Structure 1
Amino acid sequence: MNPVTRILTISERNPDPSIIAVASQAILEGKLVAFPTETVYGLGANALNPEAVARIFSAKGRPAEDPLIIHLASPSDLPRVTLEVPPMALLLAQEFWPGPLTLVLRRHPAVPPSVSAGLDTVAVRVPAHPVALALIQTSGVPIAAPSANLFGHSSPTTARHVWEDLSGRIDLILDGGPTPVGVESTVLDLTSSIPTILRPGGVTLEALQEIIGDVHTLKNSPLDRGKPQASPGLLGKHYAPHARLILLKMVNPTSLHQTLRRLVSDETSKGNRVGLLIASEDLPFVQDLPAKLAVIGSLDDLATVARNLYGGIRQLDQENVDLILARDFGNFGLGMAIRDRLSRASSQQITDDEQP
């Protein structure tokens, strides 16, 4: 445990070089630094230092089978961490980097096996956030950085979220304000015969298909604890609030609102406090209910929904609800990533055919 975690406020657009220098020196000394990326806050350490990497797992309480993503300053740094750079990787880098796309490639021997759960692959990306890029460039080393939260908890999109989870466990937090994307990067495996999305995220399936054509999605994620994973975020229970969460994966709006009302009535009659994670379109149908509300955006603006997703979940946790009822946002575009996070955070899912 680190008895003191420092927080340094830094401009998102024009990072102060003196603050970056302090954080970079901490990275080079093997310490842990939380910093904003465009997706969520990352918990960074020198990816080539096995002892520093081990501290990430310890601070988060993260199992060894869940790999880390290495963050680079530029695609030109790929040879430092990968054995080969296939033409498709260069094509995708040109189109999506810096940005929320992670590529799974063959791991370079210089990368400690612990970064990749002992596998011969490695997950890499170039983040699109000035603070993250400045930190990587100034430190001069690849930075391994999972989300800066306790393992399994909802990911952090503000420095306050990081502090709530990791204060006293890490050395430094760079507070660069809220993260603009709000869900983690898409992880695309390029070591398989057909590029395969292992984790949906900030780059959509449709955007990838426009550039490289055929893309598969991982239908059945491996769930076994103890089995090395090819990507972070594949374990069955992940991104979860402290409260129990039920995902209402319902297409019919009338059924959705009737089910929300019924469940709120049932749960409050038992003395449970209920929170609703909903779209703005749902508000007129549920605003009279005795429930805490987190309205995270419109069905027509999934970028805003994604940006507010984890903040809404954490808000309801702060309001000490016992149960969160979350609506689904579809499976197109960013809806795929939002559904993935809510599905893994949930303890139960209800569809139109499975109403209580």
Structure 2
Amino acid sequence: METKILSPNELEEAADLLRNGEVVAFPTETVYGLGADATDEEAVNKVFEAKGRPADNPLIAHVSSVSQALHYVKNTTPLILGLMEEFWPGPLTLVLEHNGLFASNVTADLKSVGLRMPNNSITLKLIEKVSKPIVGPSANTSGRPSPTSAHHVYHDMKNRIAAIVDNGETGLGLESTVLDLTDEKNPIILRPGAIGMEDLQPFIPNVTFDEHLLNEDEAPKSPGMKYTHYSPTEPVYIIQKDGIGWEKAIQLFEKQGEKVGLLASEEIIQQYEKRVTNTFSLGSDIHSASRLLYAGLRYFENLESSVILAESYAEVGIGKAYMNRLKKAAGNKYL
């Protein structure tokens, strides 16, 4: 299968492919998604096949409007409607009880489903043309860093999917916040994102964050809860401010004969770039670091670096999401 690269002006062709059961990658404000008709089981199976993704991991369904979302939800409440009005379109996925209209492999046979209205006008038009929700797991092979450009998607999905709608680089760079509202008395953030706990607390004062790791027998309600994610081909180590520090970490790996890559802020890179093999700048603050993290993890592939040292940030605001992804990429390896 030859993978076509489509421009935003070729949405009709992309919609035709989706209506005919094909898989099309699409842009959002977070990362690129791997789209298929969320009511077509065979089409959704092609998504799992392209990603090499375990079928017990549920998929998020993307909608073009609140009214479209409500057509697939079993119950609505003032809280659900209020959150949709406040945060949609945007990087917030709501896990709600569905009414059985989705393909069973979208929900992994759970009674709940994740729904999101992405803040990308191109994709909203695409979903409108398809007239059905489309699934949208990150458009990378399972376990790899998520794609923030069409180039990243093509690298992983060439000849695996029908097409990619190219809308340039994404704005946020990290996947959406996932909020479980199946029990409104106990709302839980299953995955952190750009919308943090502090943003949700005015609407849900009792919201909590799910810190536990799933075992092999548990069914995840959201992507990113169970399996290894975001991993580049080289081992990643996180450098903490209260750890051994950059100088000692670089010395440690130099003695071991490793070629070090730095994934860090511009300030750190300026200090150590002459000491290491390759560098990738995460910019000057946590917002740029979050946007560039996946691109940085991918950057070192096929370069000489044999180990990546990555900068940690405080786990507040979007830093919570950044560290969630970085810890998974590093397998929780700290220095």
Tell me if both proteins adopt one fold, taking TM over 0.5 as the criterion: yes
Pairwise mapping of residues 1-356 of structure 1 onto structure 2 (< 5 A)? Answer: 3-10=1-8, 16=9, 19-192=10-183, 193-224=185-216, 227-248=218-239, 250-252=240-242, 255=243, 259-299=245-285, 302-350=286-334
Give 3-state SS (helix, strand or coil) of 2:333's partner.
Answer: strand
Asked whether the 8 Å contact 1:47–1:112 carries over to 2, the reply is: yes
Give 3-state SS (helix, strand or coil) of 1:211's partner.
Answer: coil
Give 3-state SS (helix, strand or coil) of 2:5's partner.
Answer: strand
Q: Percent same amino acid at aligned positions? A: 38
Asked whether the 8 Å contact 1:261–1:289 carries over to 2, the reply is: no
Give 3-state SS (helix, strand or coil) of 2:90's partner.
Answer: coil
Distance 1:347 1:267 in 2: 18
Tell me the alpha carbon deviations over residues 88-109 of structure 1, each in whole angstroms, 9 at most, x when there is no partner: 1111111100000000000221
Distance 2:159 2:305 in 1: 26
Asked whether the 8 Å contact 1:72–1:142 carries over to 2, the reply is: yes
The Cα shift of 1:161 comes to 0.2
Tell me the alpha carbon deviations over residues 110-165 of structure 1, each in whole angstroms, 9 at most, x when there is no partner: 11221112211000010000111011011111101100000010000000000110
Distance 1:292 1:56 in 2: 34
The Cα shift of 1:283 comes to 2.7
Distance 1:21 1:342 in 2: 37
Cα distance change on mapping 1:346 and 1:47 into 2, 3 Å: same
Distance 1:146 1:345 in 2: 17
Distance 1:330 1:281 in 2: 17
Give 3-state SS (helix, strand or coil) of 2:263's partner.
Answer: strand
Asked whether the 8 Å contact 2:95–2:113 carries over to 1, the reply is: yes
Tell me the alpha carbon deviations over residues 145-186 of structure 1, each in whole angstroms, 9 at most, x when there is no partner: 100000010000000000110101000001100000100000
Distance 2:226 2:238 in 1: 17
The Cα shift of 1:269 comes to 3.3
Give 3-state SS (helix, strand or coil) of 2:171's partner.
Answer: coil
The Cα shift of 1:9 comes to 2.7
Distance 2:46 2:39 in 1: 13
Give 3-state SS (helix, strand or coil) of 1:349's partner.
Answer: coil
Give 3-state SS (helix, strand or coil) of 2:42's partner.
Answer: helix
* Count of aligned pairs: 334
Task: Give the alignment's Cα RMSD to 1 decimal.
Answer: 1.5
Distance 1:277 1:4 in 2: 34
Asked whether the 8 Å contact 1:148–1:156 carries over to 2, the reply is: yes
Q: Which amino acid aligns with 2:7?
A: T
TM-score (norm 1): 0.90
Distance 1:45 1:338 in 2: 28
Cα distance change on mapping 1:291 and 1:262 into 2, 3 Å: farther
The Cα shift of 1:251 comes to 3.4
Distance 2:99 2:298 in 1: 38
Give 3-state SS (helix, strand or coil) of 2:300's partner.
Answer: helix
Q: Which amino acid aligns with 2:300?
A: L
Asked whether the 8 Å contact 1:277–1:326 carries over to 2, the reply is: yes
Distance 1:43 1:348 in 2: 27
Asked whether the 8 Å contact 1:204–1:333 carries over to 2, the reply is: yes
Asked whether the 8 Å contact 2:143–2:227 carries over to 1, the reply is: no
Distance 2:70 2:6 in 1: 32
Q: Which amino acid aligns with 2:68?
A: D
